[in-house]
């Protein structure tokens, strides 16, 4: 539970009178995304969300509009491993979002969704979803400007660079680069196998 502003456990904050109370309840936020793969930019947003809320859940979405490189189970495993070795983030939970984000937030008791913004294009994409989530169940969205040093880091770019042999290990948590390269190699092998498979002949029925 959060302390009182102005109490011995919490110093006064500039711009707030002494003795202003927080709500007497634990606040929970969800950081949702496909995390395909998890990047250092994602961890930056989770870290800052953790400084704002008592509990944070990293929600791994099953996004039907995207063809994921890594399975949802792999992405959960990657996130848990990365958070376990990130100071201050060891208590962040990682769960799969099986359906609508608002249903997940309601079941988790989350008061807010936290999303990172790298620029105006991100805001344009996120605003309609934030408004819809509020319309459906009243959950608010907190937008956190991303660290400018990580503004170029996106999961899609990580995959594109890795696909053509470029270095990505400084953009993702330790070990994730190897998993991405292996997944890309496996996908390419499957594609080659499908292309080389002989056509199936069927009787014409004549």
Q: Which residues are catalytic?
A: 42, 66, 118, 155
Strand (E) or helix (H) holding 104: helix 101-108
- To the nearest 10 degrees (0 to 180), the angle between helices 101-108 and 120-137 is 60
Write the DSSP symbol of residue 94: E
**Full 3-state SS string of 120-178:** HHHHHHHHHHHHHHHHHHCCEEEEEECCHHHCCCCHHHHHHHHHCCCCCCCCCCCCHHH
Q: Answer whether 113's CB lies under 8 Å from 29's CB.
A: yes
Q: Tell me the C-alpha distance between 73 and 84, whole Å.
A: 17
**φ and ψ at 136, to 5 degrees?**
-75, -50
Gyration radius from the chain CA atoms? 21
């Amino acid at each position: 539970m959060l302390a009182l502003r102005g109490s011995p456990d919490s110093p006064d904050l500039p711009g707030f009178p002494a003795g202003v109370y927080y709500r007497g309840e634990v606040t929970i936020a969800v950081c949702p995304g496909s995390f395909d793969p998890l990047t250092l930019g994602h961890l930056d947003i989770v870290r800052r969300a953790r400084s704002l809320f008592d509990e944070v859940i990293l929600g791994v979405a099953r996004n039907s509009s995207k063809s994921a490189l890594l399975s949802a189970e792999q992405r959960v495993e990657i996130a848990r491993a990365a958070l376990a070795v990130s100071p201050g983030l060891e208590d962040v939970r990682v769960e799969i979002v099986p359906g609508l984000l608002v249903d997940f937030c309601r079941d988790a008791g989350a008061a807010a969704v936290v999303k990172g913004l790298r620029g105006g294009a991100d805001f344009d994409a996120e605003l309609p979803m934030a408004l819809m989530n509020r319309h459906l169940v009243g959950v608010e969205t907190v937008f956190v400007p991303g660290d400018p040093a990580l503004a170029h880091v996106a999961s899609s770019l990580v995959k594109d660079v890795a696909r053509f042999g470029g270095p990505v290990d400084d953009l993702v948590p330790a070990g994730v680069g190897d998993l991405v390269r292996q997944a890309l190699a496996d996908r390419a092998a499957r594609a080659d196998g499908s292309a080389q498979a002989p056509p199936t002949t069927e009787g014409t029925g004549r």
